[in-house]
Every structure is written in structure tokens, then in C-alpha cells.
Amino acid sequence: MNPIVMRPSINQRVANTSCSVRRPSGRVHPDGPTAEVVLPMGSGPAVGSGSGIAVCSAEVSMVVYESLRWPAGSPSAPAALGGSVPAFCGAWGIDAGPGAAPRRGPRPSGGTPIGVGPGASFTGMRLSTVILPIYEWDEGRVVWRHAEELGFHTGYTYDHLTWQSFRDRPWFAALPTLTAAATVTSRLRIGTLVASPNFRHPVTLAKELLSLDHISNGRLTAGVGAGGTGFDATALGQAQWTPRERADRLDEFVGLLDRLLSHRATTATGAHYSAVEARTIPACVQQPRVPFLVAGTGTRGLRLAAEFGRGWVTYGDPTGPADGPEAGAPAIVSAQMERLEAACAAAGRAYESMDKVLLQGLTSERPLESLDAFVDWAGTYRDLGVTEIVVHWPVPDSVFASTVDVFERIATEGMAQLG
């Protein structure tokens, strides 16, 4: 029988070994660069008819691609999904078009949760960068364009009011910086690493993320976390929160942000954050909403990542000194990932569906000293299951100083040498 051919976004993961992937040239899908996924008939639940969506199954793992738009009662609905594409779409929280089921609902057990999908990859590990918001825009424009030219997957920036040793140096706001970056790039994903409740409110942040998702044409990833101590924690005049208080706020913060970005109107009352008829119109470009990366290594943070995140972020030991033993760093991340896997199991989430993101630069490891050092270092974490490495863009005379020539070789050759 003839295969079904679909064209999902190129930034997607195919979870079926019977699927083959071809990357065409010279063709642009309305939702971005495309790849053809060819699913042999009978290879498992495979549905679609060129509408920008593919669903394929490998045992209990399902992958849902972005931009699902099926007419109600589509004849391509498979019996494995009850013969109803709209019913399936509603279960996954995706708008399937007129006559479809409600937009939100429970996800299938063991499947990919709401917000997973955009930003995933066909490859085993991606390389991204974090560009501090320290540049006057004449220079910043050049930096962000160069990041895209070097082939980085995502350009993140810190969402702080200032940061540690940069407190008395130029430091601009994250979301305006990302907005400007979106206008001078076309392929590079952009994102916060990370936004926190220290000075953010879910209602206003949701509106800004929605706007940036549209300005970037669906290239935004929202990194969120509890925030730390220091200037951000007290800049609005509040007393510094305890770790438990930060965790309490993050719990409400992420849950409400998810609701706001997934519904046209939201009313909710919480101990720390509330919303009254808050509107999200239009919907996000990325459906069912902008994907989240959740930073956290404690029990509650890992649970939030498993429940709401397309991925999870760590930078290593959150309590240890930056000059701690380099040799012990991978073991710390490995232990964190074991706990993440347990959190995914408890949430009914396939661990393999989650991106595991490692932020470089905050431990004693020095992988940017040479290309060989980077390849050895990244290979260690790839073998642990890390799917994305984020390296700091070089900043002279700072903790993130590195040799520009070496950095650019790492960007252009590092992943290829990893194989």
C-alpha cells in the first residue's frame, strides 16, 4: 500500500523506528522549515493528510506535531484512535477545527503532554547558546545574527534585572531583547533561561510571551524556574523568600501560566497569583501553547517539569560551589536525571519525550578551552541522556570569557565530531 506522507515542522521528534525522514530543500511549510515523514501503512497509528501534523506510535510513546488542523469528521481518522480525529485532538488539548472537542483535556497515559513538541529535534543532541542582555542594540543585532549564522539551535537570554558580577555593568531587559532578536533572525529559536516569580506575574508574562511567539513566528521557548537569591529576589521591596516559599510560588506560577497560554479566557484564584477574565487572544502560534523548559532539581521542580515541560533544565549542582571537583559533575547530573525519570513515571509521562537541557558555565568544568575538550565533555553528557547543551556566548573580562575562535569552532564542528 502507498505510504501516508505528511509534512510536520523540521523541529520535531519521530518516535517510531519504522518512520523514515527526508529533509527536502527549497520548500517552506507555512509553519516553518519542513521535513517529510513517510509512515508505511500498518506501522502503527499513523494519521494525517498533508495538514501539518503527524502522529506515530512506538509502544506507549506518542509524538504529536504542531499545527494540527483537521476538519471535523476527517476520513483519515484511524480506528486506533476511536475513528475520531476531533475527539483525539480534544484529548490532547489541541484545536482540531470546527466541531472539534474542547481545547483542553486529559492526555493519553504515557503520551506526550501539553506543550511538548515544538523545539524538539531529530538528532540526539542540540547545541544552543545563552547571550547575556548586555549589548547596545547596534552590537546586539550583530551578535544575534551571528548566533544564527553559526548554526545554534536556540539563543537564550537570562531573565534577570541584573546578575551577580554584572550588577554594575550594562544589563537590558530580557523580553525586549528577545523581541529585537526575533526581528533580525529567521531560523534561530529564542527563549528565556529562565523567567521566575521573583519579579514576574503570570498574567503579564503570558501576554508578553504570546506577543513574542507571534513576532518570532513560533520560535519562542519559555524557560521558567523558581529564581534564586540576590538582587532580583528583593528588588521589588519584598523580603527574600525561603526555598520553600520560592517552590510554592513556582508551583502556582507555572500552573497559571499554562492555563493562561492555553485558554482564551482565564479566571483563577491562588494564594500568590490570581487572574480575572484574563484574555489570551489570539492563541499562540505554537499549539497548544508556547513550550516550557522548567528548571528545578528538587522534588517539586521535577514534578512541574514532568507535568508541564517540553523539557527540563539543570546547570549541575544547585548547592555546591562553582569550583567543586570537576570529575564529580556528571554524577550529580546523572542523579538528577534519575529523579526526573521517577517524576515522569509518577506523572504518567514518557521520560524519552522530555528534553534534558544542560546549561554550561556555572560549574568548575571548562569545556570551552578547546574543541577536543568540548567534544569529550559534551559526549559524556550525551551518553547520560542530555539532549541539549547550552554554552555561554563569550563575554570578555567576565566569568564567561572564552576564546572567540575556539567558541566558533565548537559551534560549527562540535556536534559533527560527536557523531
Considering just the CA atoms, what is the radius of gyration of the chain in Å?
A: 21
Q: What's the pLDDT score for residue 175?
A: 98
The answer to whether the CB of 93 falls within 8 A of the CB of 104 is: yes
**Segment holding 278, helix H or strand E:** strand 275-279
Q: Residue 245: CB partners within 8 Å, gap ≥ 6?
A: none
Cell matching residue 373? 575538550
pLDDT digits (tens, 9 = 90+) for 158-178: 999 988 889 899 999 999 999
Distance CA(285)–CA(124), nearest Å, equals 26
Kindly state the DSSP code that residue 191 receives in the 8-state scheme. Answer: E
Q: What nine digits make up the cell of 235?
A: 528588588
pLDDT in tens, 136-164: 999 999 999 999 999 999 999 999 998 88
Which residues does 14 contact at the CB level (< 8 Å), separation at least 6?
21, 37, 54, 56, 63, 122
Three cell numbers, residue 46:
499513523
Residue 72 near residue 98 (C-beta atoms within 8 A): yes
Report residue 260 CA to chain centroid gap.
Answer: 18
Q: What is the pTM of this model?
A: 0.73
**Domain boundaries in the chain?**
4-92, 126-418
* CATH value of 126-418 in 3.30.450.40, 3.20.20.30, 3.40.50.300, 3.30.360.10: 3.20.20.30
Helix (H, G, I), strand (E, B) or coil at 113: coil
pLDDT reported for residue 325: 74
Cell output for 181: 532578536
Which parts of the chain register pLDDT below 70?
1-123, 319-324
What is the model's pLDDT at position 204?
A: 98
Q: Which of 35, 46, 36 is nearest to 1 (CA)?
A: 46
